[in-house]
Amino acid sequence: MLQKTWVKIFIWFMAIFFFFLASGVVISVLRPGPSENEAMSFMMGMMSAMDSSMMGVAMNIEHDNALQAVIALSASIALPVMVLSVAAGIGIRLWQRRDRNV
Amino acid sequence: MFDKKKLNFWRLAFIFTGFTLLVLVYLWNSPQEPKSKMMGESMGNMMKQMHVTNMTIYDLLTSEREKQASMSEMHSHHQNQSPIIFKLNFLTTSIIFLLLPFIIGGAIILAIVWIKIV
Amino acid sequence: MNVRFDFIMHWLWAIVWALLALSGFGMVGAKHGWLVNFNYATADFVHRLSAAVFVVLTFVSIAYEVFRNIKKDTKNLAWFVIGRSGYQLFTFITTLILIITGALIWICSEFNMSAVGFALLIHEYISYIALASVIWHIYKKCHALLSLKKPEAKLQKG
């Protein structure tokens, strides 16, 4: 699989991409502070994200009854699922051990 | 240290370190625009300075209700999104929040199964 | 062609993580904005959509690992994203932290702002650590970076 040319190119692409990201983050942190212009475009960009992307919609969850119901449902199943998974974890552990000791 | 097997890694590392240094030197040498007083920090740091610095655990658990009024004002403001955004928001939010308990549950199972009791 | 499940998961994970990282680091602050050209509407869109895919991938891999444990399958999955030791364990822990803090930020209007600020801070710093660890991972697994010129190059086990 790794010998295929397109896989090799893909792996190289991903490696270069992550290096690009890392150097981009280093440049962002160490560069001279944001100019007036950049701070303005940051705020404008955030405003446009609230206006025309999901950020604004997600801020209104309190007014979306269907989503409220989904979150309430997930909150209500969270505790039983956790208790069940503790039980299941112990169960699987014992199940694995039973074989090993025989 | 400069293993032959790691040659490709060091090649990438040197190219990108050089690139980063060049860009940084260029940025610090270029004429500086007037520096902004605001927004110099990352969002997390700004939030920390605004809210987290004098916070207790109790504050984490109680939620403010007085924001409600301003939020409903915002609600009317955010009605101009296209319906596809609303649908996608519903889809992604429900995927995330329905799978979240199961992810936590699975993590608990795996933690119990993986832990070595000495 | 024999395509393995863990191989596919590994690279799907890498693609989604890369998208999340690019759009996320661009949103960190005004100094980082050039990464996404201050187009936060698109960055936010990409971040949220790939977050959903990321959660689904995490769920699938956790479920797969749990079923492997039930079936007592102890075969080593070299390419799998989560596991009980080393970088797989590190990925597992950082993923859980990122998903949980991300979910807190997602429903930020439900909580007070100090909780969201705290979650944002953790989300940001964990992602820095995770990005650094990806570079470390590339260093450790450098043998996968095969030369494009020599197709006869041997892949090492490990």
B78 shares contact with chain A (CB less than 8 Å):
yes
Mean pLDDT by 10 residues, chain A (102 residues): 82 92 91 81 83 74 77 89 92 81 58
With an 8 Å Cβ cutoff, are B71 and A62 in contact?
yes
Amino acid identity of residue C66, one-letter, is: V
Distances (CA, A) of B114 to A15, B118, C85: 31, 12, 9
Task: List the single range of A72-76, C42-46, C92-96, C112-116 with lowest mean pLDDT.
Answer: C112-116
| Measured CA angle at A42 (ends B27, B94), to 5 deg | 130
Lowest-pLDDT range, B13-17, B31-35, B108-112? B31-35
DSSP code per residue over B50-65: IIITT--HHHHHS--S
Q: What is the per-residue pLDDT for B48?
A: 63
Task: Using pLDDT thresholds of 50, 70 and 90, give the confidence band for residue B64.
Answer: very low
* Residue A22: closest CA among C112, B15, C44: B15
Measured in whole angstroms, how far is the alpha carbon of residue A3 from the centre of its chain?
A: 31
Q: Does the beta carbon of B52 lie under 8 angstroms from any beta carbon of chain C? A: yes
Contact B112, A91 (CB under 8 A): no
Instruction: Give A78's contacts in chain B (Cβ within 8 Å).
Output: 100-101, 104
| A76 compared with C84, residue with greater pLDDT | A76
Are B35 and A56 in contact (CB < 8 Å)? no
Nearest-by-CA chain C residue for A40: C30
Would the pLDDT of C86 be above 70?
Answer: yes
Instruction: Give residue limits of the domains in chain A.
Output: 64-102
> What is the DSSP-derived secondary structure letter of residue A33?
P
CA distance C48 to C54: 10
Mean pLDDT in chain C? 85
pLDDT at B108 over 50: yes
- Considering only CB atoms, A11 lies closest to which of C72, C134, C145, namely C145
Residue C42 and residue C48: Cα distance in Å, rounded?
10
* Residue A58 half-sphere exposure toward CB, CA atoms < 13 A: 25
CA distance C125 to B44: 9
Joined together, the tokens standing for residue C37 give 């050209």
Question: Residue C21's pLDDT band (boundaries 50, 70, 90)?
Answer: very high
Are A28 and C43 within 8 A, CB to CB? Answer: no
C-alpha radius of gyration, chain A, whole number: 25
Domain map (residue ranges) of chain C:
5-144
B36 and chain A in contact, CB less than 8 A: yes
The model's confidence at residue B8, banded by pLDDT at 50, 70 and 90, is: confident
- Residue B69 pLDDT greater than 50, yes or no: no
A32: chain B residues, CB-CB within 8 Å: 27-28, 32, 35
Q: Which residue has the higher pLDDT, C1 or C141?
A: C141
Q: Is C37 left (phi over 0), alpha (psi -120 to 50) or beta?
A: left
Report how far apart, in Å, the C-alpha atoms of A99 and of each of A94, C74, C123 are.
9, 13, 41
Flag if A53 and C45 touch (Cβ within 8 Å): yes
pLDDT at B52 over 50: yes
Q: Is the ipTM of this complex over 0.90?
A: no
Give percent of chain C with pLDDT exceeding 70.
89
Whether the CB-CB separation of C50 and C19 falls below 8 Å is answered with: yes
| DSSP reduced 3-state for B38 | coil
Asked if C55 and B5 come within 8 Å (Cβ–Cβ), the reply is: no
Task: Spell out the domain ranges in chain B.
Answer: 81-118
Say if CB B40 and CB C87 are below 8 A apart. Answer: no
CB proximity B20 to C under 8 Å: no
Q: Is the pLDDT assigned to residue C27 strictly greater than 50?
A: yes
Query: Which residues of chain A neighbour C29 with C-beta distances below 8 Å?
Result: 28, 34, 42
**The pair of three-digit structure tokens given for residue B3, joined into one six-digit string:** 């293993």
To test the contact with chain A by mutation, choose from C2, C31, C105 the residue with the greatest count of A C-beta atoms within 10 A, namely: C31
CATH topology (fold) of C5-144: Fumarate Reductase Cytochrome B subunit (1.20.950)
Q: Give per-residue burial for B15-40: e unless 16+ CB within 10 Å, then b.
A: ebeeebeebbeeeeeeeeeeebeebe
CA C1 to chain B, closest CA, distance in angstroms equals 27
Residue whose tokens read 């370190």: B17
Cα C7 to Cα A2, B82, C29, C133, distances in angstroms: 10, 38, 35, 20
* Closest C-alpha among C117, A18, C22 to residue B41: C117
**pLDDT computed for residue C17 by the predictor:** 95
